[in-house]
Structure 1
Amino acid sequence: MSGMSESRPRDTPVLVVDFGTTASAAIVVAGEEAWPVPEPVTGAASWPSAVFWDGQQMLVGTLAERRKRSEPESFAAEFKRGLAADSSVVLGRRRFRPVEQVVALLTALRSEAERLYGAPIGRALITVPAAYAPTDPRRARMIAAAEAAGLDTVELLPEPVATAFAPLAGPPLVPGDLVLVYDLGGGTFDAAILSIGERWHEVLGHATLDDCGGRDVDALLAGRIHAEGQAWLAPLLSSAAASPSDPATLRLGMAVTDFAQRLKHQLSTAPVVEDFFLPNAPAYRLTQADLRALAAPLLGRTVTCCTDLLARTGVQPHQVTAVVPVGGGVRMPTVAELLQQSLRLPVRTVEDPDLATVRGAARWLPHSGPRRVPAATSPEPSIPLAFAIPGGSAHLLRWLIAPGQAYVAGVPLARVRLPTGALWDLTARVPGTLDRLLAAPGAEVTAHEWLALARP
């Protein structure tokens, strides 16, 4: 990734976003150049997927995290999990739907990206889980949220496909390879079988565990801390025992969970850790062996999910070229050990597993090639324009030229979104003048359907 410079490319900038359950990351891509969008408060590559309603405005990211203990009832995280039902929740004295919380975070990402890039950005590429099928309402809500955040051209990319483009240690993946993507994020676990192609990669099958992520490990560890720390937690617990929704109770729960997460992160590089929850409390000691035993049932479910997926898709283990573990949860040493022992498949590593998806998507974008379909015409005076749309159908987003406007061969006439979420441009095979539109923006169109009439 390159840094921001005065000599920006003239290519249309695209905001690439990996919107995660617990953390999100973004990169601006323009042509072959790419710039990360760090969290403005901490400078970290990832933004906490968190919001806080202060009564007047929605704070996001680290600003939200730092306010959560002052008013726990005004704080929300992991709202991506609620995107399917999109039921409103109370923050402070107002109700917000999950899609509105997504809008707040995407708006902040776009604003910071534009500040760093120095120019408006209207196009977005957002990665989504493979579980978001073409008819899944979460796809439409993610697109609507991005549009509401000021991004008028929105494309979706399956997360496993993005992962395949992330920089891997060792030789690159080649056409014909079958890859098992093991994605242990903060809020969910996703597994996918990916067939590597010359230009396009195909998701052969996928599976998801919605209650099996890094935060679930944090919750298990927090429960252990509560159980083992009764002596020094008792005074705090007695004052917070009024109600589970009492602010004091919520603050204590947040504090213990944050402490558990801190211990877990330290064990990514150290075999044993001792840390203090309170200055006057005894040191809490935890080893990698302790964490391994605690997380074993949860991680065992991820392995079962992978083996069931292989069986369901008819892929034999010996046909799998490699397992690619990504997501912040795979930083736990016990994950690599478990994959080696249980799956007995070659494991490929990426430099920053929690940034693999966004970095892969940023590399996919300039290498995805020209996605254009030339019009099929006839020799009649009034020329019908029809297109061999990949996959047979698409959603017509907009016409790029107006009736009465002349065009040259190869110019894009309209833009469509395929059911996969990919954007394609419908182009002119020969020069002409657009005469009349037969399909309006927003229509579902099919391959070889007459979409417009033109004059030579």
Structure 2
Amino acid sequence: MFEPPQSVRPRDTPVLVVDLGTTTSAAVVVAGEESVPVPDPVSGAAAWPSAVLWDGQQMLVGTLAERRKRAEPESFAAEFKRGLAADVSVVLGRHRFRPVEQVVALLAALRLEGERLHGAPITRTLLTVPAAYTSADPRRARVIAAAEAAGLETVELLPEPVAAAFAPVAGPPLVPGDLLLVYDLGGGTFDAALLRIGERWHELLGHATLDDCGGREIDALLAARVHAEGEAWLAPLLSSAGPTDPATMRLGMAVTDFAQRLKHQLSAAPSVEDFFLPNAPAYRLTQADLRTLAAPLLSRTVTCCTDLLARLGVSPHQVAAVLTVGGGSRMPAVSDLLQQTLRLPLRTTDDPDLAAVRGAAHWLPRSGPRRVPAVTSPEPSIPLSFAIPGGSAQLLRWLVAPGQAYVAGVPLARVRLPGGALWDLTARTPGTLDRLLATPGSEVVAHEWLALARP
């Protein structure tokens, strides 16, 4: 499939920038220098719940799914990003859906809402993905396939820690060459990454992930505490219902939502008193209680960071700062623990949940043309090779067909670098494409002959 060269220029094309999170997702439409957030159409919130519900005819997404989950708990799914590695189907209602299909539904909803706000079709996307989604990881290919199935034909990837580091950050500015430790406590996982700050790109030096150490695990611990301490008034609600009974599922959802509400309130208050039911006793929780409950999990995140630095041969005093992102980093216990253990300056964003999507939207129009001119020879049949950044890339598609004439500077092909960024391979001089030597989907290396052309 060939595209006209004018359709591939990033500055001329609206781009849907998406942070696909385990518990929440967010999107921004970037067109030139202008960025427009894509809020959830039901709640108006900047972040959409990463949730779906099959109502028997269509897939409901985001807050619409969240608000129906207690009515139809057996048709509801969330945190499906965690299942992308195995991609095993689950039953929603009377149908089975793979995690990648649930991602398609979420991305399609984001695209449609983005198009409504932008007023025109959007076929290009920039997805932020965990640093663990390397070229060998099957989740990377499935996320790309899901975006394409959602109608986003051109898919670019940006590692989440790199994106977050481009977000507006409080405190003294970082300068090129600084080492930045990104501490990302999200709803589903914990990710640590070490970056070297640059002008147009931050180099990802290493990363580590804890797949079972996110905000949801803290919610589960708190929900278990609520269950234990409120057994006297929770037990009658269940009677003889089994674990898969809708009543049991509804109660579990309600207790988890209540625990999450308590946790969020404690981000700004030293203590909270709330009611699960109007006739139930008041439930009281303090920041000290939450700190004690979360201490084992938070301790693991610090160990993950120190192990990463040790593996990379970097001592803490070489790190300029720690950037805390992800909704879990709102807890005062996180900043207290990091200051006590790592003893490094902390940097924060105004909304840690949106750091990745805002950083990616900030980076995109400032990332430059990202084009590599062809290297040619004076022979009658000119071989085209390119000084590909980093030495290798995946050839996505040819933008000029054999026999088609082109002018100097026009994009001939598009490649995806190992980090996920898209680059266009351009013509240094005018000519006519004669024969292709590399096929889409193949791995290509710098200075390898990819095509032959005629002057």
Q: Determine if the TM-score, normalized by the shorter chain, exceeds 0.5.
A: yes
Aligned-partner Cα distance in 1 for 2:430–2:255: 67
Higher relative contact order (CA closer than 8 Å, sequence separation 6+): 2
Structure 2 residue 311 is matched with structure 1 residue 312: yes
Offset at residue 10 of structure 1 (A): 7.1
Instruction: State how many pairs are aligned.
Output: 446
2:295 equivalent in structure 1: 296
Q: Is the 8 A contact 2:147 2:155 kept in 1?
A: yes
1:374 aligns with 2:373: yes
Cα pair distance change 1:274/1:360, threshold 3 Å: same
**Which deviations, in whole Å up to 9, do the C-alpha atoms of 1:5-30 show, x marking residues without a partner?**
xxxx9721111110000000001111
Partner of 2:226: 225
Residue 205 of structure 1 aligns with which residue?
206
1:335 aligns with 2:348: no
Contact 2:52/2:61 (<8 A) preserved:
yes
Q: Per-residue deviation at 1:332? A: 1.1
Aligned equivalent of 1:5: none
What per-residue deviation string (whole Å, max 9, x for no partner) do you get for residues 154-211 of structure 1? 0111111111101011222111101110000001000011111233211111111111
CA distance in 1: counterparts of 2:416 and 2:42, whole angstroms:
35
Residue 420 of structure 2 corresponds to residue 421 of structure 1: yes
Q: Would you say the 8 A contact 2:11–2:365 is kept in 1?
A: no
SS class of match (2:25):
strand
**Counterparts of 1:151-170 in structure 2 under 5 Å?**
151-170=152-171
Amino acid at match of 1:356: A
| 1:255-289 deviations in Å (ceiling 9; x for gaps) | 00000111111111111111111111111111111
Question: CA shift at 1:443, angstroms?
Answer: 2.6
Rounded to whole Å, the distance in 1 between the matches of 2:346 and 2:51 is 32
In the alignment, the residues of structure 2 paired with residue 443 and residue 294 of structure 1 have an alpha-carbon distance, to the nearest angstrom, of: 49
The equivalent of 2:321 in structure 1 is 322
Q: Which amino acid aligns with 1:104?
A: A
Distance 1:389 1:421 in 2: 14
1:441 aligns with 2:440: yes
1:31: how far off? 1.5
Cα distance in 2 between the residues matched to 1:181 and 1:74: 36
Of 273-282 and 16-25, deviating more is: 273-282
**Separation in 2, partners of 1:440, 1:347:** 47
Q: Distance in 2 between matches of 1:59 and 1:283?
A: 34
> Residue 364 of structure 1 aligns with which residue?
363
Within-5 A mapping of 1:166-185: 166-185=167-186
Report if the CA contact (8 A) 1:193-1:204 is conserved.
yes
Q: Is the CA contact 2:399–2:411 (under 8 Å) kept in the aligned structure 1?
A: yes
What is the alpha-carbon distance in structure 2 between the residues aligned to residue 145 and residue 382 of structure 1?
40
Q: Partners of 2:195 and 2:384 in 1: how far apart? A: 35
Which moves more between the two structures, 147-156 or 269-278?
269-278
Question: Greater CA deviation, 113-122 or 405-414?
Answer: 405-414
Cα distance in 1 for partners of 2:199, 2:227 equals 52
Counterpart of 2:4? Answer: none
Of the structure 1 ranges 384-393 and 54-63, higher mean CA displacement relative to structure 2 is found in 384-393
Aligned to 1:407: 406
Q: Deviations over 1:144-163 (max 9, x none)?
A: 00000001110111111111
| 1:337-369 deviations in Å (ceiling 9; x for gaps) | 111112111111111111011101111111211
Consecutive unaligned residues in structure 1, runs of 5 or more: 1-8
Matched, 1:257 2:256: yes
For 1:7-26, list aligned pairs within 5 A: 11-26=12-27
Whole-angstrom distance in 2 between the partners of 1:431 and 1:204: 39
Alpha-carbon offset, residue 70 of structure 1: 1.1
Q: Could you report, residue by residue, the CA deviation over 1:52-75 in whole angstroms, capped at 9, with x for unpaired residues? A: 111111111011111111111111
Counterpart residue type for residue 56 of structure 1: Q
Q: Is the 8 A contact 2:185 2:325 kept in 1?
A: yes
Q: Does 1:130 align with 2:142?
A: no
Q: Runs of 4 or more off by more than 6 Å in structure 1?
A: none
Please tell me whether residue 345 in structure 1 is matched to residue 341 in structure 2.
no
Q: So what's the TM-score if we normalise by structure 2?
A: 0.96
Q: Residue in 2 aligned with 1:75? A: 76
Shift of residue 239, structure 1, vs aligned partner: 4.1
Structure 1 residue identity aligned to 2:360: A
Any idea what SS the aligned residue of 1:421 has? coil
CA distances 1:290-325 after superposition (whole Å, capped 9, x unpaired): 111111111111111111111111110110100000
Distance in 2 between residues matched to 1:308 and 1:87, nearest whole Å: 32
Are the counterparts in 2 of residues 239 and 248 from structure 1 also a CA contact under 8 Å?
Answer: no
Q: What is the SS of the residue equivalent to 1:87?
A: coil
> What RMSD over aligned residues (CA atoms) do the two structures have, in Å?
1.3
Distance 1:323 1:453 in 2: 49
SS in 2 for 1:348: strand
For 2:319, the aligned partner's letter is V
Instruction: Give the Cα–Cα distance (whole angstroms) in 2 for the partners of residues 343 and 435 of structure 1.
Output: 58
Q: Match of 1:208, as an amino acid?
A: T
Equivalence for 2:284: 285
In structure 2, relative to structure 1, the CA distance for the partners of 1:10 and 1:324 (3 Å cut) is: closer
Does the CA-based 8 Å contact 2:175-2:197 persist in structure 1? Answer: yes
**Bigger mean CA deviation after superposition, 431-440 or 35-44:** 431-440
**Partner in structure 2 of residue 107 of structure 1:** 108
Tell me which amino acid in the other structure corresponds to 1:401. V
In structure 2, what is the Cα distance between the partners aligned to 1:39 and 1:198? 33
Provide the residue aligned with 2:390 in structure 1. Answer: 391
Q: TM-score, normalised by structure 1?
A: 0.96
